Structure 1
């Protein structure tokens, strides 16, 4: 098999402007520190979505030392391009029934939580959109002293690749299902101005086969497990402002890889930045660093370069919250001939409390996915307008209208037979509307 062509460095031209933008954000955060002296570190902003509303918030059921919130939801949605296809668009309506369960301990020390969700979705005309999903998550925290705590978590989920995502390779075929087992442990120590956190996780993903024209197509080559560990240390340099340094290391393995190319890899990331919450107006986090992912097979190019993560939440009034976020990550590729995807995400969101019980939301997102070793760069632009009506403590009604526009440059090596996602990339537009009613017992 011929070696894949060298990866184009098309993202480098945009890096200087991005660096200047993030450095400007860091400078603004440092400048705001001088004006915020005397403001307690805990006097941070409270966003529109997170603000407590005692007269409208659900009242949990009490079982001894536990609070429980069961819920049920009915959601109806319509999409004009259900398969996220370039041509031959098919529309359909989907009806989803979902249930949820959340339990929390109320102990003064230590904590235990359990969350579970299940949903059944059915397409009115397209059976390929029928899905049954569920997930369960448990977590526990042990307080080892005033300044130290340890926590563990475990979760198991049955989910499907979203239509139009980089993992959706069947296009007009059945949805791709997978099972995920995620485990993790963390230890945290905070004393005076110093904070130290260490975390380790082990996640396993297994993909279910799907059927096309009566034949079962295995997905074992997509199964993988990843182990990662991270260390973060921060130091408070002033009221509500802390500098931090964090690093992480990961290993990804494909236990059932049966192809000649092995996509297993090892990688690390190192970042430094500032975290702030200096006034009721603004809080956020910004970090710059370096990331590097090496693949076991020399046919796959090494992915390395600038790493960044930033979020900013601004509350100019108690009724408005603006949120900006940006992040660069390295994603595993669903295509056999491509090992990794460098993905850059940028988002902007506005929440407006029109009335105490009526919240309006608008969000725009842009994602650029660079398929390493190929000429393919996929760009996604999406937006959502939504409204949430808190009718009372138990009933919440939500409505949304959204769109997605996806364009790909170049072609990728790999992909599944009959799937335009691998052969020529993706190019489509779609719109979606939805209405949901959520009832909490």
Structure 2
């Protein structure tokens, strides 16, 4: 996996725009790829519990990085040892569905124990089938995690920033024929803990916020996997502090309208694309309305039985707490390749380029990432992973030179599962 950090809002919007369309696998089987291909002798079987299947796992990882603080001037290298227990419980019912998941990631540094972390998450997802043509869905999630040192929002020379994220979403889908209508409403509550920089406390309360989105989809499915849709979405940013510590009122409202399409060719490829217009305004009159073109695309292509190519691109907006900036226009392109060298051995390569342009100030970030990985399935209960990641960020102008970094990282992971 490429070690490049993006905000949860950016990824959440992209996931909503690409993954929630029927052609994305919601109403049909997902495209079989090298990574998700059914391997009866190597896939974990889980534990059958009545109408559920329990899938426990535990991973142990040794990770080396040559720049743990993402610092442009001092490359402080260290080893990180990570314990990653988790379990999921999934229903196997003919109607309705329920999925529960719990996971923890406990990291300990060899020399820099101030960077130690104890992350965990809980999630639940359910679907109530009202009829053959309609259903009601809901999901809840809680996550305690930390802000990556590669984040532009990260305070320099401060201890690790920990935050909690609570998310909830409800949806309703109605498909009486080829025409369908979908309603979605989601909310995320993000709460940052204060951080310490020497004898000084950094107040992060002014970053606490709620992000909510309501959307309506109207679409038409020409045949299974081939869909066009129109989506309208309203979004709201509501910060806990009306005025942040820098004197800005960052709360605001916005909307987005997109036209999208999905196409799948059985067993070969699946593609989703969308393009539209967004507008975001803010309570602070010093911030201009934030508007522009949004777009995204996602492609999965089975080049052969042994090779899968994945590509994605997007232009979205993100909130920020950078002084003077109202938001960020984020653009990125990702390319990945999975190659089944042996039935039990998958070799992967990833590449990513991205650009973040800050509205209201003169700043542009260019990010490049690349990665190589090996997945070796010894048997259905033990997997081995080996990988290397490279990431680099250049920032213009040089007033923001503290946010420039280059990082090389390598890892080895052993995962046990039932």
Structure possessing the higher radius of gyration over alpha carbons: 1
1:140 aligns with 2:117: no
Aligned CA RMSD, in angstroms, stands at 1.6
Structure 2 residue matching 1:153: 3-state secondary structure: strand
Number of residue equivalences = 390
Structure 1's 263 and 192: CA in aligned 2 closer, same or farther, altered over 3 A? same
Structure 1's 326 and 425: CA in aligned 2 closer, same or farther, altered over 3 A? farther
Q: What CA distance in whole angstroms lies between the structure 1 residues aligned with 2:335 and 2:84?
A: 28
Question: Match of 1:107?
Answer: 93
Q: What CA distance in whole angstroms lies between the structure 1 residues aligned with 2:224 and 2:137?
A: 27
Structure 1 residue matching 2:332: 3-state secondary structure: strand
Question: Match of 1:408?
Answer: 395
Question: Match of 1:17?
Answer: none
Give the Å deviation of 1:42: 6.0
Give the Å deviation of 1:405: 1.0
TM-score by length of 1: 0.85
Q: What CA distance in whole angstroms lies between the structure 2 residues aligned with 1:358 and 1:195?
A: 41
Contact 2:54 2:87 in 1 (8 A): yes
1:152 aligns with 2:138: yes
Match of 1:89 among 66, 75, 95: 75
Structure 1 residue matching 2:175: 3-state secondary structure: strand
Q: What CA distance in whole angstroms lies between the structure 1 residues aligned with 2:223 and 2:138?
A: 31
Structure 1's 137 and 295: CA in aligned 2 closer, same or farther, altered over 3 A? same
1:269 aligns with 2:256: yes
Question: Match of 1:310?
Answer: 297
Give the Å deviation of 1:242: 1.4
Contact 1:384 1:400 in 2 (8 A): yes
Give the Å deviation of 1:344: 0.8
Q: What CA distance in whole angstroms lies between the structure 1 residues aligned with 2:325 and 2:29?
A: 47
1:360 aligns with 2:315: no
Question: Match of 2:11?
Answer: none
1:317-332 equivalences under 5 Å are 317-332=304-319
1:27-426 equivalences under 5 Å are 45-170=31-156, 172-238=157-223, 240-259=225-244, 260-410=247-397, 423-424=400-401, 426=403
Q: What CA distance in whole angstroms lies between the structure 2 residues aligned with 1:388 and 1:44?
A: 21
Q: What CA distance in whole angstroms lies between the structure 2 residues aligned with 1:198 and 1:204?
A: 21
Contact 1:383 1:402 in 2 (8 A): yes
Contact 1:290 1:306 in 2 (8 A): yes
TM-score by length of 2: 0.90
Structure 2 residue matching 1:317: 3-state secondary structure: coil
Deviations 1:336-385 (A, max 9, x none): 43221111121000011111110111011111111111110011100110
Question: Match of 1:28?
Answer: none
Q: What CA distance in whole angstroms lies between the structure 1 residues aligned with 2:386 and 2:411?
A: 6
Give the Å deviation of 1:166: 2.4
Structure 2 residue matching 1:221: 3-state secondary structure: helix
Structure 1's 141 and 192: CA in aligned 2 closer, same or farther, altered over 3 A? same
Structure 1's 336 and 204: CA in aligned 2 closer, same or farther, altered over 3 A? farther
Q: What CA distance in whole angstroms lies between the structure 1 residues aligned with 2:330 and 2:88?
A: 33
Q: What CA distance in whole angstroms lies between the structure 2 residues aligned with 1:217 and 1:88?
A: 23
Question: Match of 1:14?
Answer: none
Structure 1 residue matching 2:100: 3-state secondary structure: strand
Unaligned runs of 5+ in 1: 1-40, 413-422
Q: What CA distance in whole angstroms lies between the structure 2 residues aligned with 1:46 and 1:64?
A: 28
